[in-house]
Chains A and B, each alone.
Chain A
Amino acid sequence: MARVNNWQLGREMSYWYPESRPQKQFAAVFDINKCIACQTCTLACKTTWTSGKGQEYMLWNNVESKPYGFYPLAWDLKLLEMLEGQKWNESGERPVYEGSTIFESAPAGERVLGWRPEDEDYAYPNVGEDDCAGGVDGGASILGVHDMAWFYYLARICNHCTYPACLASCPRGSIYKRPEDGIVLVDQGRCRGYQECVRGCPYKKVFFNAMTGTSEKCIACYPKMEQGIQPQCFENCIGKIRMAGYLNTPDKAQADNPLDYLVHIKKVALPLFPQFGLEPNVYYIPPIHVPTSFTKQMFGPGVDQAIKTYREAAANKDDDLTGLLGLFGSSEMVMEKWKRVGDKVIGLDAKGKEIVNVPMREPVVVRPAYDKLYQITRGNCP
């Protein structure tokens, strides 16, 4: 195994291949606090890519309720249990992961520490939907806001990891990471359906197709990305929780790159299970209402700071951060750059050409209930 740098762990780690970062890295930020689990993303993906024979059970994009939702069943719990606890050293300037990654924990004869779901594990995509952690005292739900129970929605696609476990697991090199944009693909001409990638991917985002005999996965809608258009699950997100683009490493972070700004500069968006060691490239703004003892395990030690920054953005008059969050879902185009000019937030393409121009605050129009012109009183109901 080679030694590679994983900045999410704050240290080097072992990986099957030497470090080879793409020219650009496809990445995304999902704001969990905005997701309503409408599954429009799921359907947009499903109808576009996985409506074929053998793809019936595949959800390259899914939205599950945490803590009790999983697709496939217990995908995260199972591996967390196998990893036997993960420790972060938070005493220094940057947290350092002191546990083992799935590459470092690989048993003899294996390339990574992994497991394969049974076909039954895919049979309950909505398991745990809207199930609360803990109970709610009788009447509490009627009395108003309560804080003893929580759940949140976790939208998931392939993380197009910097160190993909699917790629490392494939004994015949059928999986590759595109040098031009870091998108991870299964070569459908070369795959022989061994399901080693299904076993290796900790996020279980590679699916075996029994009718073609090959494994398939999210392709980050690369035909769209190549044209500067965000993937289907981003474009169709009615909650406007998502932004796709390209992410630099922390040492090369650019403030005018929206993803760099959120991930590296403001540090409000965090990777999903960084301790697995894959350097996943979908980042989440963690839910602000959930006990951080839970979310820290899922998003790493940066949770407290991320929530604080996000929560206080408006109160602190952090117009850049609140403005950028308003840019989410404002255009189907990939906004590789952004800037704020006064009370306007502008999304730009890679060459700096304006794509979209969004006001910091939508103008407020107050319409009096009584219409003097027609001498009539209008209600809100038709």
Chain B
Amino acid sequence: MKKLLVLFLILGLLGAVACRRTFVATPDVQVVTTKTVTLDANESVWSGAPTHVSKLILQDLVEPRLMEPSTQEVEVQAVTDGTTIAFRLEWADGSPNDLPGPHRFMDGCAVQLPLAIADSVPAPQMGETGKTVQISYWRADWQAIVDGRADEITAIYPNSKPDHYPFNARPLESNPQAQQETAKRYAPARALGNNREGPREQPVEDLIAEGPGTLSPNPQAFSKGKGVRTSRGWAVVITRPLPAGFSKEKSSQVAFAVWEGSKSETGARKMRSGWVNLLMK
């Protein structure tokens, strides 16, 4: 009976190991050159790229801090076609969080690189004054919108029944431009071009920062992305131009962050990595 129990235990352990992806983790993020880059996290191109497992730590340097750890690690792969670099991030997350609302927060991830490759590296916590970092930020709700979710409150709250919006009033129905203008009056953020939600072509946002609290849109909106659910969480591909000057001889750094929506993680409340060497293989 005892032998049988031990056998079951061994079989169980073997099964658990088999379910996990097997790879030899690299200490750096090694960028493999391929013919083309892809936004598809399931493409075969990724099977040839080494995986770096980035251990995540609490953002506990500036208030508001994250006090309890959530996402432990993120698996990272990178490929390039010589002009564009693609990062594939995969992490465990039991349930998707992609519906915004009061006290609802979104799953997300970000890839951060220094603006310039230099001997003196910016602080990994979103850079520092005079040492800008570029951030490509993916969010699950933006992915849902890009994937076709309607830009309506009823898409978030299916049972809601808004009875009237002034911009849908009858006199405006035949004048789309006036209707649009009226709608903007009730959406000041959109009127100012702050597209936190709503129709967007990419689930990724380009940002720059020179330290905590300084995050602002990157005038160069060059990132693209696509996130999909996997059996254990999210797999997100983010592409952006290869950093200027990055080559086999000249390495750079990269850092990652993951937000777990179900744990109310947002903004500064996140799990993050330090700088990891980014090497051209």
Contacts and interface: CB of A to CB of B under 8 A. Distances in A.
Interface string A159-198: 0000000000101110000000000000011111111101
B215 A51 contact: no
A110 B213 CA distance: 15
A264 interface: no
Given A110-B64, A119-B103, A212 B266 contact: no
A261 interface: no
B62 A189 contact: no
Given A188-B192, A210-B156, A116 B64 contact: no
Q: Which 10 residue pairs across A and B have the least CB separation, nearest first?
A: A52-B186, A213-B196, A213-B197, A109-B65, A194-B267, A212-B189, A189-B192, A188-B188, A214-B189, A188-B189
A117 B103 CA distance: 7
A211 B153 contact: yes
Contacts, number: 135
B189 A210 contact: no
Nearest to A204: B102
B64 A111 contact: yes
12 contacts: A50-B186, A53-B162, A109-B60, A118-B103, A119-B101, A193-B197, A193-B266, A198-B102, A211-B197, A211-B198, A213-B196, A213-B198
Interface residues of B, number: 46
B63 A193 contact: no
Given A54-B153, A56-B160, A195-B266, A213 B63 contact: no
Interface in B184-243: 185-198, 212-215
Contacts of A169: 64
Contacts of A52: 165, 167, 183, 185-187
B189 A189 contact: yes
A172 B67 contact: no
Interface of B: 60, 62-67, 100-105, 151-153, 156, 160, 162, 164-167, 183, 185-198, 212-215, 264, 266-268
A208 interface: yes
Contacts of A194: 266-268
Contacts of B164: 51
A213 B189 contact: yes
Contacts of B64: 109-111, 169, 171, 196
A54 B189 CA distance: 12
B102 A118 contact: yes
Contact of B100 (A56, A190, A198, A210): A210
A216 interface: yes
The SS class assigned to the B binding surface is loop
A172 B268 CA distance: 10
A171 B103 contact: no
A209 interface: yes
Contact of A207 (B102, B153, B160): B102
A189 B190 CA distance: 8
A55 B186 contact: yes
Contacts of A171: 62-64, 212-213, 267-268
Nearest to B185: A52
Nearest to B194: A189
A68 interface: no
A190 B189 CA distance: 9
Given A109-B65, A110-B65, A117-B102, 18 more contacts: A51-B166, A52-B185, A52-B186, A109-B60, A116-B102, A119-B101, A171-B62, A172-B267, A192-B196, A192-B267, A193-B266, A196-B64, A208-B100, A208-B101, A208-B102, A210-B102, A214-B194, A216-B188
